[in-house]
Amino acid sequence: MVKETVARATESAAVDEIAIDGFDHVEFYVGNALQACYYYHNGFGFDIVGYRGLETGSRDKVSYVLKQGNVNIILTGALSAKDEVAEHVHKHGDGVRTIGFRVRDTETAYETAIKRGAKSFSKPAQQEDEYGQMVTASVHTYGDTIHTFVQRAGYSKENFAPGFKPLEKKSKGVGLAAIDHVVGNVEVERMEHWVDFYKQVFGFYVYQYFDADDISTQYSALISKVMANKTGTIKLPINEPAIGIRKSQIQEYLDYYLAPGVQHIAIATKDIISTVDALHKRGIEFLTVPRAYYDALPERVGQIDEDIEELAKLGILVDRESDGYLLQIFTKPVEDRPTLFFEVIQRKGAHGFGKGNFKALFESIEREQANRGNL
Ligand code: FE2
């Protein structure tokens, strides 16, 4: 908490912030969009709300749009070996290509970013169909990841975007409500570079930071800074590996993703017990912590609303901060490579990232790393 205060006081934004209302979507490039869609629909309870492919005139890509609460995920696969999607998947395995930002004015957001040094991926383009108009533009960030500005005020909620057609394949849903934060892993000694990028291009500030002492186990370590906009609708932690006795989990990610990229997407729920219970029943696998974690919990976090036995049964972690507490849980990697995973988080007054859980959590990750022969 001291660090957060220090960070806020001394690291105010260098430039005016680019106005961003929130996360618009996250797009994954995957080897088989049809099958990945089945996984997120049945495993995570997303509705399938949109499609583009050969039938809609898309000759090189297939995409499915999944929605739950305010979380939009696009799964995109390639229809030819030469497509950029195929190249991305060949190099990285399935992973996140795009973190989309909802803006009121794409052109201003894009021009400001470019003027401040962002590298263009695609210029502002207005697309139109019977549902209205949408303006998008994209800039590069770490690795092969891009940020897309999405101005959708002139577009109907009945369709995701021009080029897509609406689908209505409902799922029961598990209570996933909104993207809380999206975490990137970058190489050793590159975190500051990307911190400066978000400060100088987007006008974000360092919301919190964690040094190797905060995030280390007997074996390995990482350091992390959380970049955020003033309203807190965008939070982008950036991790880099730190030196430990064994290989950092961040280094394992980099070794398999072969570039910096998105490590995890945290999704907020209003009732983590029912959400995680439903996800367990649907076959989603989570990291586990030893029983001793729950034995020590009452003393560490004090009074909480939830039944600790219920949390223990589901493997949900708890952390207390000055303003309240949070509950969180992490899936195992959801791709073939040990790269991307999800977090489910419920905030009860706490704004942080579960620092008190780092040790138990990273020991859990390291047990998995050791099982993979990568520790
Ligand atoms: Fe997280």
Question: What would the pLDDT profile of 11-38 be if each residue is shown by its tens digit?
Answer: 556 789 999 999 999 999 999 999 999 9
Q: Rounded mean pLDDT of the chain? A: 93
Distance 233 CA to ligand 1 centre (A): 15
Distance 210 CA to ligand 1 centre (A): 13
Residues 208 and 328 occupy one common structural domain: yes
Identify the CA nearest to 36 among candidates 82, 77, 89, 5: 77
The confidence score (pLDDT) of residue 12 equals: 59
Is the pLDDT assigned to residue 58 strictly greater than 60?
A: yes
CATH number at residue 209: 3.10.180.10
Distance 168 CA to ligand 1 centre (A): 31
Is the pLDDT assigned to residue 5 strictly greater than 60?
A: no
Residues 132 and 105 occupy one common structural domain: yes
* pTM exceeds cut of 0.85: yes
Distance of CA 122 to the CA centre of its chain: 22
The confidence score (pLDDT) of residue 364 equals: 82
Domain that holds residue 163: 22-169
**Mean pLDDT score, 142-146:** 98
Structural domain contains residue 317: yes
Residues 146 and 213 occupy one common structural domain: no
Distance 343 CA to ligand 1 centre (A): 6
Distance 162 CA to ligand 1 centre (A): 32
Residues 191 and 77 occupy one common structural domain: no
Lowest-confidence segment of 43-47, 160-164, 290-294, 356-360 by average pLDDT: 356-360
Structural domain contains residue 12: no
Is the pLDDT assigned to residue 10 strictly greater than 90?
A: no
Number of domains the chain is built from:
2
**Mean pLDDT score, 271-293:** 95
Distance 94 CA to ligand 1 centre (A): 20
